[in-house]
Amino acid sequence: MKNIPLILMGCGGVGRQLLQHIITTRSLHSRKGLYLRVVGVCDSQCLVVTRDWLNNDLDDSLLLKACQVKQDGSSLSILGDFDKCQVYGHSESQGKIFEIASQLGKSTGLVCVDCSASSDTVVVLKEVVHMGCCVVLANKKPLTSTMEDFDKLFGYPHRIRHESTVGAGLPVIVSLNRIISSGDIIYRVVGSLSGTLGYVMSELEDGKPLSKVVRDAKTLGYTEPDPRDDLSGMDVARKALILARILGRQISLDDIKIESLYPKELGPDMMSVEDFLDHGISRVDGYMQERVMKAASNEKVLRYVCVIEGPRCEVGILEILKNSALGRLRGSDNILEINSRCYKEQPLVIQGAGAGNDTTAAGVLADIIDLHSLFP
Amino acid sequence: MKNIPLILMGCGGVGRQLLQHIITTRSLHSRKGLYLRVVGVCDSQCLVVTRDWLNNDLDDSLLLKACQVKQDGSSLSILGDFDKCQVYGHSESQGKIFEIASQLGKSTGLVCVDCSASSDTVVVLKEVVHMGCCVVLANKKPLTSTMEDFDKLFGYPHRIRHESTVGAGLPVIVSLNRIISSGDIIYRVVGSLSGTLGYVMSELEDGKPLSKVVRDAKTLGYTEPDPRDDLSGMDVARKALILARILGRQISLDDIKIESLYPKELGPDMMSVEDFLDHGISRVDGYMQERVMKAASNEKVLRYVCVIEGPRCEVGILEILKNSALGRLRGSDNILEINSRCYKEQPLVIQGAGAGNDTTAAGVLADIIDLHSLFP
């Protein structure tokens, strides 16, 4: 049995779901001679490592316990009560990860999995890649900081996977990488890559006012606690930046033209979430309704998309032909259309659920398995 | 510079296009530190190998010459006139491939690329995989013979790639494999996987008689020389079998229910291609027109699809809702819809050009590059 040791950073929704996927797929992977050995898990406050991490792992009961602790909103430090593991505070955890990486990196390809939403992990990730480890990301932040950080992470391109940073588990990154390595020339990438904004746009199309749609989306749990985090377009811009960088563009977030669905006067530093929802966002209702109607008069619909074409990289609302894959998109599905030499007249289209912890964690797990063959 | 040695089997349209892709992407791959070293090429009659194949390769001028020779309909044996290479006749070529494989397999991961349409290559492929080589297939036949052959080829699953056996360069296989390794449970796979039959079905939808559509398709170069090779459904059945086996079904071609678009009385052993086109296929016009109209009366269209669901694996005509991704498919595009635990309400959809030498060869090249990271 070949074992794949890993350390999980971030035990939010996706991280917890990943641990659960790992446990439920044990028999599937053992039939293929693989064992996923979770050596450590960490949250923002501490790192929990199995004792004798050279040979042992955090067993499934402890992993389930960790999930429960995080679900309850507590810190992993509670697990210090268990004999089987050791807990390191924030100040020690980085050093401990480096210690494990230096022992397990080159020989076993220790996988550092980042399911956090933090900008801070990039420091650790850059270092462990250099030490021979593999890196799997659901977290977009490490890939969307400086170009220098990005290049460092991709210093060993075959040891990094990040499918779930764009379109959750949809095979977006793997498809783009295949097209690029085949020498095909990509002319244009257009995508609707936010389940939240996909939902908002298709509800607007049905004639509902923006303010109601946003309130509904929040109630349904489709938005971040502050819906402006979605409506600002920043999350889509990060995804666009990741795609653009894969396509070879040496750009940063600042270079992307981003259209926000609300004006600055309604921003987080101007009013609370409650004020925004109760009487802020409704000020945009009329303007948005006009745009929807104008588009409809041309057999078009509004979609919040990212467009990468030549030097152009932008995210915002576009009028899209009703009778196209993108125009027909409904609800929270994601879609990516790629036009290239091989896909010239009709684009290559990838479409499906692009959000949700289950799908996102499934993409992360597929990445981890994909990497295993690199190591003996 | 890391070099990836390879032997190409089959120099038909896809094989020739692959050689051209390899040549035109040299600078792209050299920027990534890779060099594709073509050690040998073979057709059904002979094998051409570079002299000193441990270190050398067939240079680009010779590869272009090989393409020209095959384009002209000649045998590669003509290349025996060149000093730089050695030509082995059919009886010696298998032994020579094994000799090269035993030297280069384990150390460099020699890639044996099968772009032929032959059933005979499987003997060689099974052996070289066992010797440590990688295998990349555009040829469906080795994966659709016995289950025993299939299992032998997949004895080292990370050393075999075959994206271009289904949907040309579309990321169909890689996506299915990712879904499976993530532990997601696939309920249903439905696809329109023949550009030819896709064209036929969408033309029928427009009210044209089958006989005219088939004649047009042949004139446009969309069909095999004998269009019955497409219309029999056998090619789609092979694709369905490959998908079903990836999904873990232990089945053979005989287990697949296949609907042919023409009755036995119009088969190749009953009449010539000319007779079939001139007054054979028109006998089916009325029947097919009725089916098209019956479907239309229910807001449906006919599509020639493969369906894999539970124990069911069949290929044939299905009535499909007009207002679905599959129902909206036009022309020769391929489409695959996957329903799984993660893609439950809406399927994961992959759509785009699924035929053509350019796209197919691009898929093969992406597979070759994908394998390189396995070797130091």
Chain A interface includes B343 (CB < 8 A): yes
Q: Which residues on B lie below 8 Å from A328 (Cβ)?
A: 328
Which candidate from A179, A331, A374 shows the least CB-CB separation from B374?
Answer: A374
Tell me, what's the pLDDT at B3?
A: 93
Tell me, what's the pLDDT at A332?
A: 86
The C-alpha of B261 sits at a distance from chain A's nearest C-alpha, in angstroms, of 27
Tell me, what's the pLDDT at B243?
A: 98
The number of CA neighbours under 13 Å toward the Cβ of A281 is: 23
The C-alpha of A276 sits at a distance from chain B's nearest C-alpha, in angstroms, of 32
Chain B residue with minimum CA distance to A23: B183
CATH tag, A178-353? 3.30.360.10
Kindly report, residue by residue over A332-345, the tens digit of the pLDDT: 899 999 999 999 98
Least confident interval from A34-38, A134-138, B323-327: B323-327
Q: Which residues on B lie below 8 Å from A171 (Cβ)?
A: 171, 174-175, 178, 350
Tell me, what's the pLDDT at A4?
A: 95
**Mutation site, B29, B324, B342, interface A, largest A CB count within 10 A:** B342
Q: How many CB atoms lie within 10 A of CB B347?
A: 23
Chain B interface includes A175 (CB < 8 A): yes
**Cβ of A25 and B346 within 8 Å?**
no
Beta carbons within 8 Å of A305's beta carbon, 6+ residues apart = A190, A191, A192, A193, A315, A316, A317, A318, A320, A326
**Cβ of B356 and A374 within 8 Å?**
no
* Residue environment code for A154-176, b if the CB has 16+ CB neighbours within 10 A, otherwise e: bebeebbbbbbbbbbbbbbbbbb
| Interatomic CA distance for residues A193 and A213, integer angstroms | 18
Tell me, what's the pLDDT at B82?
A: 78
Chain A interface includes B350 (CB < 8 A): yes
Per-residue pLDDT band for B81 (boundaries 50, 70, 90) equals confident
Average pLDDT over residues A137-153: 97
Chain A interface includes B346 (CB < 8 A): yes
What spatial distance separates the first Cα and last Cα of chain B, rounded to whole Å? 11
Residues of A belonging to the active site: 239
Q: Is the pLDDT of residue A159 over 80?
A: yes
Q: Is the pLDDT of residue A221 over 90?
A: no
Chain B interface includes A247 (CB < 8 A): no
Tell me, what's the pLDDT at A376?
A: 77
Taking phi over 0 as left and psi of -120 to 50 as alpha, with beta for the rest, B201 belongs to: alpha
> What is each CA distance from A263 to A233, A268, A273, A294, B85, in whole angstroms?
12, 11, 14, 21, 69
| Interatomic CA distance for residues A106 and A101, integer angstroms | 8
Q: Is the pLDDT of residue A330 over 90?
A: no
Chain A residue with minimum CA distance to B335: A349
Q: Is the pLDDT of residue B281 over 90?
A: yes
Strand arrangement, sheet containing A34-42 = A85-89, A46-50, A34-42, A2-9, A111-114, A134-137, A160-161
**Cβ of B343 and A352 within 8 Å?**
yes
| Interatomic CA distance for residues B238 and B116, integer angstroms | 15
Tell me, what's the pLDDT at A12?
A: 93
DSSP A265-326: GGSTTTS-HHHIIIIIGGGGHHHHHHHHHHHHTTTEEEEEEEEEETTEEEEEEEEEETTSHH
Chain A interface includes B156 (CB < 8 A): no
Per-residue pLDDT band for B374 (boundaries 50, 70, 90) equals confident
What residues 101-130 of chain A have any CB closer than 8 A to a CB of chain B? none
Q: Is the pLDDT of residue A165 over 80?
A: yes
Cβ distance B43 to B73 under 8 Å? Answer: no
Provide the mean pLDDT of chain B: 95
Tell me, what's the pLDDT at B330?
A: 86
Provide the mean pLDDT of chain A: 95
CATH tag, B2-168+358-372? 3.40.50.720
Average pLDDT over residues A369-373: 92
Which candidate from B343, B352, B363 shows the least CB-CB separation from A182?
Answer: B363
Q: Is A15 annotated as a binding residue?
A: yes
Q: Is A195 annotated as a binding residue?
A: no
Residues of B belonging to the active site: 239
The C-alpha of B350 sits at a distance from chain A's nearest C-alpha, in angstroms, of 5
Cβ distance A78 to A150 under 8 Å? Answer: no
**Mutation site, A27, A178, A186, interface B, largest B CB count within 10 A:** A178
| Interatomic CA distance for residues B376 and B372, integer angstroms | 8
**Cβ of B182 and A373 within 8 Å?**
no
**Cβ of B347 and A343 within 8 Å?**
no
Q: Which residues on B lie below 8 Å from A189 (Cβ)?
A: none
Q: Is the pLDDT of residue A232 over 90?
A: yes
Q: Which residues on A lie below 8 Å from B369 (Cβ)?
A: 181-182
Coil, strand or helix at B356: coil
Tell me, what's the pLDDT at B183?
A: 94
Between residues B150 and A80, the one the model is more confident about? B150
User: For a pLDDT cut of 90, what percent of chain A falls above it?
Assistant: 91
What residues 20-39 of chain A have any CB closer than 8 A to a CB of chain B? 21, 24-25, 28-29, 32
**Cβ of B353 and A342 within 8 Å?**
yes
**Mutation site, A182, A192, A338, A344, interface B, largest B CB count within 10 A:** A182
The C-alpha of A347 sits at a distance from chain B's nearest C-alpha, in angstroms, of 6
Q: Domain segments of chain B: what residues?
A: 2-168+358-372, 178-354
Q: What is the DSSP letter of A128?
A: H
Token couple for A313: 């990289």
Per-residue pLDDT band for A373 (boundaries 50, 70, 90) equals confident
Kindly report, residue by residue over A24-36, the tens digit of the pLDDT: 999 999 999 999 9
Binding site members of B for NADPH: 140
The C-alpha of A123 sits at a distance from chain B's nearest C-alpha, in angstroms, of 25
Q: What is the predicted ipTM? A: 0.95
Q: Is the pLDDT of residue B373 over 90?
A: no
Kindly report, residue by residue over A252-262, the tens digit of the pLDDT: 999 999 999 99
The C-alpha of B72 sits at a distance from chain A's nearest C-alpha, in angstroms, of 25
Average pLDDT over residues A143-164: 96
Under 8 Å CB pairs connecting chains A and B tally to 139
Per-residue pLDDT band for A243 (boundaries 50, 70, 90) equals very high
Q: Which residues on B lie below 8 Å from A325 (Cβ)?
A: 325, 351
Nearest Cα to Cα of residue A329 among A287, A306, A301: A301
What residues 300-329 of chain A have any CB closer than 8 A to a CB of chain B? 325, 328
**Cβ of B346 and A356 within 8 Å?**
no
Kindly report, residue by residue over A36-74, the tens digit of the pLDDT: 999 999 999 999 999 999 999 999 999 999 999 999 999
Q: Is A84 annotated as a binding residue?
A: no
Tell me, what's the pLDDT at B30?
A: 95
Kindly report, residue by residue over B4-51, the tens digit of the pLDDT: 999 999 999 999 999 999 999 999 999 999 999 999 999 999 999 999
Tell me, what's the pLDDT at A82?
A: 78
Token couple for A43: 């949250």
| Interatomic CA distance for residues A318 and A205, integer angstroms | 13
Fold of B178-354: Dihydrodipicolinate Reductase; domain 2 (3.30.360)
**Cβ of A366 and B178 within 8 Å?**
yes
The C-alpha of A75 sits at a distance from chain B's nearest C-alpha, in angstroms, of 28
